[in-house]
């Protein structure tokens, strides 16, 4: 069986070696040719911000591939709108979107925006009230209304019992000035600072709310907006001091919450963070409640308001364009100009038309973002086409709102489940530590192989080198090709894979040595050991690969990087052992140094305790195994 003439049995090791050499050189050439000489680094190594958004919907079927892809498109546009270049948005698993924003000046801000924006609706206001306020003692301290109008808060007993002086804020009156459409100017200007008009949608959240916030409940006893317009002088009456926030809310409620919401509306306390959530649910055709925060009012009171809202009138996805701009004409500050698409224009026109005929507060239009009312302007006439939202915006506020509006409503709502920001410097430190650990790990394995396997150790080193080159080039090319990014767990996987690769060599070497121990000559030993070693290697690599694939499919974020590297290196391990190690050993077995079992070859028959070659008899020593113990 150890016939030296068995050349075909040796196979053609030269061919296999040539093949892998060509492949390796080809890959390296491709890497240099395309200029992708380093792997793309993940956020945790290169620095930047990585956000994981998890889709949530009460309707599980809504979380599907199509909706996720739409969401990715929208988020991509949003992120790019922040001027972040090379931001990467991709789905991961069935319900996650990963947003990677490379290091950049405003990546933090972009992260916040991307992570917190989801659904945008325009809904009619049914009722509103301050929420969770602890009012300062009622003092009609507010300055008399410059615009001559009390807050057009109106309805019935509520406002009557809570009489006080209204105080539109200065910002409110400024915002009330129309810009660009004179026709609509006067009615809106007479309102307490909030108006929605053609070409002008004046939103000053501090308008109506300021009444409550300043501690002076609305004075208007009349339920009609026209009465409110008629410059009622504030009547300072002493309101009964409410004892609890709930009482205050009830007392200051404007409008009548619909019966199905009455209880929920009364119970809602927006000053309690746990209650401040998205109540919009899945069905946009239903009434709902929402919270709103008013910065200015927040300075004196709690600043929180609650709203009862009607069904969605216009969907945020119908906004085709929104831009922030400075209102130079009236110096009313930053505002957001809106353009609707056809459907949006129609719906908007219809709804504003209907709202304009309503009485306060039901003539307000709430812009609800993620369940929170960001703006609730008054409407005085039907508006189609363009609109402007103005208010107490800073430039940033206006820009952010414009971004949110432009890039529409997402088909799903998302929770920001994870956000990591890594500075480039710290990321670099991580990378260095990982590489250093890898280098030391590699050195230790090399050292161990050399000491234990001597000459054969060189083969394993060569194998590890080939494996490393292949892994590195493939990672570089995959980075360019499919956007594979090397993150920290991936580095970890690569380091762990050194062990896997070396394991395969050991399995083969030990098999060869077993054969030599049995008394076989080296060349036949190498051939005979191969099928058995091959099976072990394939079986165990298959288990590794299975693990990697399952991990990759059933995981998100960092785990995927790890699984990917593990899988890649396992496949490469098989390639290297078949096309490199085995042929190389076959060739080496022909050399005297190894064939004669030089003491430094690692295959010294004497050292291995080989029996004198007994042809035809492969004795199993196992017979005595059970007898002795050590």
Partner 1 sequence: MSRFSNLGHRLYQGEVSFDFVGRRKLWYSISAAIALAAVIGLTTVGLHLGIEFKGGSVYTIKKPGLTISQAQDSVDKIVGDSTPQVQATGDGQIRIQVSAGEKTPSNEVVQKLSSDLSVSQENINTEVVGPSWGQQVSQQALTGLVIFLILVTAYLAIAFEWRMALAALVALIHDLVITIGVYALVGFEVSPGTVIGFLTILGYSLYDTVVVFDTVKENTKGLEKQNKLTYSEAANAGLNQTLVRSINTTVVALLPVAALLFIGGGLLGAGTLNDISLALFIGLSAGAYSSICVATPLLAQLKEQAPDMRALAKRVALRRAADAKAAAKAAEDGTALDDADDESAEGPEDSVPVGMVGQRNQPVSRARGKGRPSGKH
Residues 35-94 that bind partner 1 (CB under 8 A): 44, 52, 54, 93
Binding residues for partner 1, how many (CB under 8 A)? Answer: 88
- Backbone torsions φ then ψ of 128, nearest 5 degrees: -145, 155
| Binding window for partner 1 (CB under 8 A); candidates: 317-325, 328-336, 337-345, 537-545 | 537-545
Minimum CB–partner distance for residue 536 and partner 1 (Å): 4
Query: Do 289 and 295 touch, CB atoms closer than 8 A?
Result: no
Buried b (16+ CB within 10 A) or exposed e, 290-307: bbbbbebbeeebbbbbbb
DSSP symbols for 291-355: EEE-HHHHHHS--EEEEEE-S-SEEGGGEEEEEEEEETTTT-EEEEEEEE-HHHHHHHHHHHHHH
The interface with partner 1 within residues 10-39 (CB under 8 A) comprises: none
* 11 bridge partner residues: none
The answer to the question of residue 425 lying near partner 1 (CB under 8 A) is: yes
- Measured between alpha carbons, how far is 344 from 283 in angstroms, rounded to an integer? 19
Minimum CB–partner distance for residue 255 and partner 1 (Å): 30
Give which of 202, 220, 175, 192 is closest to 365, Cα–Cα: 202
Minimum CB–partner distance for residue 271 and partner 1 (Å): 12
**Token pair listed for 64:** 């599907």
The interface with partner 1 within residues 190-229 (CB under 8 A) comprises: none
Which of 181, 221, 420, 477 lies at the binding interface for partner 1 (CB under 8 A)? Answer: 420
**Token pair listed for 85:** 């270049």
- Measured between alpha carbons, how far is 541 from 534 in angstroms, rounded to an integer? 10
Which of 506, 575, 587, 595 lies at the binding interface for partner 1 (CB under 8 A)? Answer: 506
Which of 75, 548, 572, 584 lies at the binding interface for partner 1 (CB under 8 A)? Answer: 548
Q: How many CA atoms lie within 13 A of 521 on its CB side?
A: 16
In terms of CB distance, is 137 or 609 closer to partner 1? 609
Q: What is the enclosing helix (H) or strand (E) of 98?
A: strand 96-102
In terms of CB distance, is 3 or 546 closer to partner 1? 546
The interface with partner 1 within residues 255-294 (CB under 8 A) comprises: 273
Minimum CB–partner distance for residue 527 and partner 1 (Å): 17
The answer to the question of residue 502 lying near partner 1 (CB under 8 A) is: yes
Minimum CB–partner distance for residue 156 and partner 1 (Å): 37
Minimum CB–partner distance for residue 598 and partner 1 (Å): 15
Minimum CB–partner distance for residue 444 and partner 1 (Å): 4
The answer to the question of residue 614 lying near partner 1 (CB under 8 A) is: no
- Measured between alpha carbons, how far is 50 from 96 in angstroms, rounded to an integer? 13
Q: How many CB atoms lie within 10 A of CB 628?
A: 6
The answer to the question of residue 440 lying near partner 1 (CB under 8 A) is: yes
In terms of CB distance, is 239 or 434 closer to partner 1? 434
Minimum CB–partner distance for residue 406 and partner 1 (Å): 23
Which of 206, 332, 544, 601 lies at the binding interface for partner 1 (CB under 8 A)? Answer: 544
- Measured between alpha carbons, how far is 400 from 396 in angstroms, rounded to an integer? 6
Q: How far is CA 541 from the centre of its chain?
A: 34
| Binding window for partner 1 (CB under 8 A); candidates: 76-84, 124-132, 281-289, 508-516 | 508-516
The interface with partner 1 within residues 90-119 (CB under 8 A) comprises: 93, 108-109, 112
- Measured between alpha carbons, how far is 406 from 338 in angstroms, rounded to an integer? 8
Which of 444, 600, 613, 618 lies at the binding interface for partner 1 (CB under 8 A)? Answer: 444
Minimum CB–partner distance for residue 518 and partner 1 (Å): 9
Minimum CB–partner distance for residue 555 and partner 1 (Å): 5
Which of 539, 592, 612, 617 lies at the binding interface for partner 1 (CB under 8 A)? Answer: 539
| Binding window for partner 1 (CB under 8 A); candidates: 255-263, 329-337, 389-397, 538-546 | 538-546
- Measured between alpha carbons, how far is 301 from 318 in angstroms, rounded to an integer? 35
The interface with partner 1 within residues 553-592 (CB under 8 A) comprises: 553-559, 562, 566
Pairing mode, if any, of strands 120-130 and 200-202? unpaired
Query: Do 409 and 121 touch, CB atoms closer than 8 A?
Result: yes
The answer to the question of residue 499 lying near partner 1 (CB under 8 A) is: yes
For Cα atoms 60, 63, 65, give the angle at the middle one, nearest 5 degrees: 145
| Binding window for partner 1 (CB under 8 A); candidates: 141-149, 184-192, 466-474, 506-514 | 506-514
Minimum CB–partner distance for residue 544 and partner 1 (Å): 5
**Residue 161, preceding peptide bond in cis (omega within 30° of 0):** no
* 90 bridge partner residues: 98
| Binding window for partner 1 (CB under 8 A); candidates: 65-73, 342-350, 354-362, 498-506 | 498-506
Q: How many CB atoms lie within 10 A of CB 478?
A: 18
Which of 80, 161, 339, 417 lies at the binding interface for partner 1 (CB under 8 A)? Answer: 417
Q: What is the enclosing helix (H) or strand (E) of 53?
A: strand 48-56
Minimum CB–partner distance for residue 302 and partner 1 (Å): 14
| Binding window for partner 1 (CB under 8 A); candidates: 126-134, 200-208, 331-339, 487-495 | 487-495
**Token pair listed for 597:** 């079992």
3-state secondary structure 236-297: CCCCCCCCCHHHHHHHHCEECCCHHHHHHHHHCCCCCHHHCCCCCCCCCCCCEEEEEECHHH
**Token pair listed for 388:** 């402007």
The answer to the question of residue 181 lying near partner 1 (CB under 8 A) is: no
State the angle between helix axes of 522-553 and 488-517 in degrees (0 to 180), rounded to the nearest 10: 150
Which of 181, 418, 465, 479 lies at the binding interface for partner 1 (CB under 8 A)? Answer: 418
The interface with partner 1 within residues 445-484 (CB under 8 A) comprises: 445, 448-449, 451-452
């Amino acid at each position: 069986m150890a016939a030296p003439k068995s050349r075909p049995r040796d196979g053609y090791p030269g061919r296999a070696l040539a093949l892998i050499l060509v492949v390796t050189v080809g890959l390296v050439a491709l890497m240099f040719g395309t200029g992708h000489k380093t792997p793309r680094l993940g956020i945790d190594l290169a620095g930047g911000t990585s956000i994981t958004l998890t889709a949530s919907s009460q309707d599980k079927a809504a979380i599907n591939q199509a909706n996720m892809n739409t969401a990715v498109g929208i988020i991509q546009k949003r992120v790019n709108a922040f001027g972040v270049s090379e931001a990467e948005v991709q789905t991961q698993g069935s319900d996650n979107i990963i947003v990677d924003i490379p290091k950049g000046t405003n990546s933090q801000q972009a992260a916040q925006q991307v992570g917190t924006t989801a659904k945008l609706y325009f809904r009619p206001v049914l009722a509103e009230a301050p929420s969770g306020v602890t009012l300062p003692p009622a003092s009609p301290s507010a300055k008399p209304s410059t615009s001559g109008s009390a807050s057009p808060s109106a309805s019935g007993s509520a406002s009557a019992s809570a009489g006080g002086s209204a105080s539109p804020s200065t910002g409110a009156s400024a915002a009330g000035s129309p810009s660009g459409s004179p026709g609509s100017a006067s009615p809106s200007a007479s309102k307490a600072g909030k108006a929605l008009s053609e070409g002008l949608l004046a939103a000053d959240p501090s308008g109506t709310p300021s009444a409550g916030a300043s501690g002076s409940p609305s004075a208007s006893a009349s339920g009609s907006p026209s009465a409110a317009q008629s410059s009622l002088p504030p009547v300072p009456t002493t309101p009964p001091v409410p004892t609890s926030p709930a009482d205050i809310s009830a007392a200051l409620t404007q409008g009548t919450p619909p019966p199905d919401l009455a209880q929920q509306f009364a119970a809602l306390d927006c000053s309690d963070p746990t209650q401040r959530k998205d109540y919009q649910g899945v069905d946009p055709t239903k009434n709902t409640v929402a919270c709103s925060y008013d910065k200015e009012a927040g300075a004196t009171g709690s600043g929180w308001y609650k709203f009862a809202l009607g069904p969605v009138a216009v969907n945020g996805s119908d906004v085709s364009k929104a831009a922030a701009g400075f209102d130079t004409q009236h110096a009313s500050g930053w505002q957001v100009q809106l353009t609707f698409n056809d459907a949006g224009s129609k719906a908007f026109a219809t709804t504003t038309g209907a709202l304009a005929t309503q009485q306060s507060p039901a003539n307000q239009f709430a812009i609800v973002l993620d369940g929170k009312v960001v703006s609730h302007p008054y409407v005085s006439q039907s508006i189609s086409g363009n609109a402007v939202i103005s208010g107490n915006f800073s430039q940033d506020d206006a820009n952010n709102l414009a971004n949110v509006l432009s890039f529409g409503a997402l088909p799903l709502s998302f929770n920001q489940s994870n956000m990591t920001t890594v500075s480039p410097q710290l990321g670099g430190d991580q990378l260095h530590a990982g590489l250093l650990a890898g280098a030391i790990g590699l050195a230790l394995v090399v050292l161990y192989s050399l000491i234990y396997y001597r000459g054969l150790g060189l083969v394993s080193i060569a194998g590890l080198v080939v494996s490393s080159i292949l892994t590195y080039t493939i990672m570089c090319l995959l980075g360019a090709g499919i956007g594979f990014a090397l993150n920290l767990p991936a580095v970890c996987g690569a380091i762990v894979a050194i062990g896997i690769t070396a394991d395969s060599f050991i399995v083969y070497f030990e098999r060869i040595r077993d054969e030599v121990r049995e008394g076989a000559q080296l060349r036949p030993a190498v051939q005979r050991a191969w099928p058995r070693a091959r099976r072990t290697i394939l079986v165990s690599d298959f288990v590794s690969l299975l693990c990697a694939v399952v991990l990759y499919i059933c995981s998100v974020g960092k785990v995927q990087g790890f699984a990917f590297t593990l899988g890649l290196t396992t496949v490469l391990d098989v390639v290297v052992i078949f096309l490199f190690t085995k042929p190389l050993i076959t060739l080496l077995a022909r050399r005297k140094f190894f064939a004669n079992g030089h003491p430094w070859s690692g295959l010294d028959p004497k050292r291995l305790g080989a029996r004198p070659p007994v042809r035809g008899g492969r004795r199993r020593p196992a017979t005595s195994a059970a007898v002795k113990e050590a």
